[in-house]
Amino acid sequence: MSELTRIPAPDGVAPAAQYSHVVLGRGRFVAISGQVPLDEDGRLVGEGDPGAQARQVFENLRRCLAAAGATFDDVVKLTYFVTDLAAMPALRAARAEHIPDDRLPAASAVRVAGLVRPEFLMEVEAFAVLAG
């Protein structure tokens, strides 16, 4: 695990409620492509269900991080792409199952007109830093 410094509210910047404004670390950079709500066989999980889709997305992120020798503790940035901002509570709940509030990464949320398949409600990418 890398040593990361999280700065939730730099001087002069409004405090962040659900993310850290700045996360810094030293080590190997890991980029995880946007993960969608497909299971290991490529089947959609949770059609029309933001909670089920979010849980699958975070499980896919966990598996991708593990393949790189990383965990959610190493994540410095998450980017959420959602077709409806109403899915954000489900994403936050799924994130909370993997990342405690005192280890929140930097984050961005982007509402998009659509994703690669119309039944996808969300996609999440991650960046991590591993120790040296």
CA distances from 118 to 14, 20, 126 (A): 35, 31, 22
Whether 40 shows a pLDDT value over 90: the answer reads: yes
The three-state secondary structure class of 75 is strand
In this predicted model, what pLDDT tens digit does every residue of 24-33 receive, in sequence order?
899 999 999 9
Tokens matching residue 76: 């410095």
Instruction: Kindly state the DSSP code that residue 104 receives in the 8-state scheme.
Output: P
- Secondary structure tally for the chain: helices H, strands E: 2, 6
Global pTM? 0.94
Give the pLDDT score at 2. Answer: 67
Give, in degrees to the nearest 5, the angle at Cα 108 between 122 and 50.
25
